[in-house]
Amino acid sequence: MLKAKNGSVELPSGTTDYVRFGSGQKTMVMLPGVGDGLKTVRGMAVPFALLYRQLAGDFTVYVFSRRRQLYPGMTTADMAEDLNAALEALRLSGVMLVGVSQGGMIAQWLAIRHPDKVAKLVLTVTLSRPNATIREVIARWKDMAGRGDTRGILLDTAQRSYSPKRLKRMGPAYRLYGSVGKPKSFDRFVIEAESCATHDAYGRLSDIACPTLVIGGKEDRIVTGQASEEMADRIPDCRLVLYDGLGHGLYEEAPDFLGRVRDFCR
């Protein structure tokens, strides 16, 4: 049923990697967050298929990275154009689009500029315009990247994302969190991070024409829960789910998260 496969698509702008799994008739496209700047989905088909196997029966799922070579100053709108080109190359349209964090920012632009590509939209722990919290977080991560501190970035992300209960349960594993090899360059991560701090689709949210589900956490210390509320207020056909006691990592912590996404999209 999982039918996990690694793939890539060659575009005029460069190569975009993706993974595919599932056997459903409907197509779901998932866009991960800024962690893509440290590790892409390349070669990760089986882990993604196992992690999201709850979706594999109803959907054929694609998870896209940003293109391999990014350029300084690249915006979330630019990344959405790359995604649109990839979808056209693979002849995909009318997809169920699920964006998490920075992936949700890219998803907003795709739904606004290319409505034929998106049948339903799920925006998870993301924002539509910069706020003080995201600016402070991105500045901190960029400083760590400048010092080559991969572990610091991942530990800071975990502390800001997970509930105290989850961090406590991680126990000794938490102390090892982020003990991974450094990327050859932090340029990709910095470009993606900066695009989060400059993303501003707030004035265009009313142009989103498809049914939309916004999911946020009231304790989100990266984009804030208020960011989810203001998006839901501006998008015409929108449902809002806000989790009490959870933050940016709710898509890992909330046991009903994948069920909500699955039920909304099918």
Q: What mean pLDDT is predicted for residues 226-252?
A: 97
For residue 176, what pLDDT is reported? 63
pLDDT of residue 181: 63
Answer yes or no: is pLDDT of 178 > 80. Answer: no
Please count the structural domains in the chain.
1
User: Is residue 79 pLDDT above 70, yes or no?
Assistant: yes
Residue 117: strand pairing partners: none
pLDDT for 72 equals: 96
Instruction: Bin 91: left if φ > 0, else alpha if -120 < ψ < 50, else beta.
Output: left
The answer to which of 14-23, 42-51, 162-171 has the lowest mean pLDDT is 162-171
Range(s) of the domain holding residue 237 = 5-265
**Pair of tokens at residue 61:** 């799922």
- Given a cut of 60, is residue 250 above it in pLDDT? yes
Of the two residues 16 and 168, the one the predictor is more confident about is: 16
Specify whether the CB–CB gap between 11 and 81 falls below 8 A: no
Q: What is the CATH number of the domain that holds 202?
A: 3.40.50.1820
The pLDDT value given to residue 183: 78
Take residue 53 and report the two structure tokens written for it: 């196997």
The percent of residues in the chain predicted with pLDDT above 70, rounded, is 96
Count the residues in the chain: 266
